[in-house]
Structure formats: structure tokens, C-alpha cells
């Protein structure tokens, strides 16, 4: 399974809102919102990734946004 689809599945299972997308330089970007414990679990999972993936680094930043993300977790277009 590809990384974005796997990430979407994990985030949905954890009840998170947000999105995952490819970046043109080959990295993958995730914006997730939800319960703190679920966010920490997603971070742990991202370090592992799906089988046949290679994860070199996971950078985490807190983002302060006005309002909430739309409900659900989706795959966004490449940026």
C-alpha cells in the first residue's frame, strides 16, 4: 500500500481530522487534528510506515489555526 493511503487509514482509525499529501521533493506532509493521545499514536506509526516504505525522518510541529479542519481525513493534491 502506498504511504498516503496507509496514513489516511491510520488517521481515520484514530479518529483524526486532516489530510496527507505528497510534496514535489518526494517528502510526504501530514496535517492532523484531534485528541492528543491519537496524534502521538499517529506520530509513532509514521515512524514505521507501511511495509516496503522507507522513513528517514518525521518532523512534528504544532500548528495554531483558527477554527477546525473539516471532518474526516483525506488525501490532498500534491503541493
Q: How far apart are CA 27 and CA 24, in angstroms?
A: 7
- Cα–Cα distances in angstroms (integers) from residue 65 to residues 34, 51, 75, in the given order: 13, 33, 20
> Nearest Cα to 11, choosing from 34, 2, 66, 23?
34
Question: Active-site residue 17, yes or no?
Answer: no
Q: How many C-alpha atoms does 52 have within 13 Å on its Cβ side?
A: 4
In this predicted structure, what is the pLDDT of residue 75?
Answer: 95
Asked if 4 is an active-site residue, the reply is: yes
| All structural domains of the chain with their residue ranges | 3-75
Q: How many whole angstroms separate alpha carbon 69 and alpha carbon 63?
A: 12
What is the per-residue pLDDT for 65?
66
Among the options 17, 21, 22, 27, which is catalytic? 22
pLDDT per residue, tens digit, the chain (79 aa), is 599 999 999 999 999 999 999 999 989 999 999 999 999 999 999 999 998 888 888 988 877 766 667 889 999 999 9
What CATH number is given for 3-75 in this structure?
A: 3.30.70.100
Amino acid at each position: 500500500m502506498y504511504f498516503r493511503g496507509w496514513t489516511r487509514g491510520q488517521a481515520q482509525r484514530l479518529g483524526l481530522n486532516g489530510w496527507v499529501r505528497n510534496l514535489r521533493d518526494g517528502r510526504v506532509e501530514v496535517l492532523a487534528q484531534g485528541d492528543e493521545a491519537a496524534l502521538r499514536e499517529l506520530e509513532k506509526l509514521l515512524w514505521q510506515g507501511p511495509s516496503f516504505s522507507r522513513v528517514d525522518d518525521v518532523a512534528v510541529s504544532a500548528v495554531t489555526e483558527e477554527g477546525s479542519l473539516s471532518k474526516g481525513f483525506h488525501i490532498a493534491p500534491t503541493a
